[in-house]
Structure 1
Amino acid sequence: MQNFNIVEKIKNLKPLKVAEQELLMEDAWEIYTRIGTIQNENTGQNATFVNNAFDKIIRHTGFDLRIIRKLAVAYQKAILAWTEPVNKSHKEHPNFVGYSNYVSKIFFTDKQKNVKIYYIRFTLQNLKTKLKTEQRSQFHSAYVSNVELYKEDASAIFPALAVRRGAEASLDKRLAQFFDKSREITKGVQT
């Protein structure tokens, strides 16, 4: 039932409006470097937006530089979807204890005045600290994807996405797995 409650909270999030005005790379960088540390209002978890994550997030398919203006507020209002330990079989991370994945919503209005709503998933690296009571996290990545893509089972829509481009077709596989798992749990509870 925990996943179901989280999914409901995510669905009920009020999307944040992203300004229509384009943003130059230099301006996006300047805005990003001023973010610093932000506290999530739902969990109290602080995340430091480290400079070396900037290049990683802007390279993601579907990431629009204009989102940088809303990045801090989107994290601040985001819902903690899941946490996970470090995958030690992938790569050694002696300074991480795990990851936290938060989900928020944003929206754009296109030139035809159509509103497009997107999820933005933040991944934070939870760092080892000397004090067990202290938790430090740093921003690792952000993934943007169209809300409409998650209305069905993700496995059914992967082939259809191959012909699309940008955020319209960019399915966050990790988020899709989370939603699919939540659907399975909900079905099991209802039967």
Structure 2
Amino acid sequence: MSSSKNKISTEQREALLGVLKKRFEKHMHRHKGVEWTKVQAKLEASAGKLWSLNEMENSGGEPDVVGQDKKTGEYIFYDCAAETPRGRRNTCYDREALESRKEHKPENNAVDMATAMGIALLTEEEYRALQQLGEFDTKTSSWVQTPAAIRELGGALFCDRRYDHVFLYHNGASSYYGVRGFRGSLRV
């Protein structure tokens, strides 16, 4: 990340912190035992992470704290929008998949978008943990990190929630749909 490019203004910072605090207080079940003042202190000391959270917010992710890493002390944020973020849909899995398409290419791919935002795609394990906090992706689906062995064969993984169950599926990495995007995670 370029430090000069990935900054937000004081006004944007204050607005974002206000939105994050309000969401944090509204969904206390997502982060039992975590105090907002400690999260805010870490955020204020991490301009680059604030920029990434702002990107998550601006693309419809509704990021929220979902826990704290006991070893590192980092707070963990996931996209907690009810459906996969609108500003990140219609993407194939990665650059290789995008470049392999001969026609009808999507505008972007999930891996490059996440990297540009300074976040990581959720893993299957993280996606399943998110689903313990609520019902997400009941009408959409989200790409998740795909093991190299699957990706080398041209595939990629995605998840959604249907029939009150969380499903993991596979598809060609170059596929894309109007209701498939990606969710990200960020550690602060």
Larger strand share, 1 or 2: 1
Task: Specify if TM > 0.5.
Answer: no
Q: Give the TM-score taking structure 1 as reference length.
A: 0.31
Q: Give the TM-score taking structure 2 as reference length.
A: 0.31
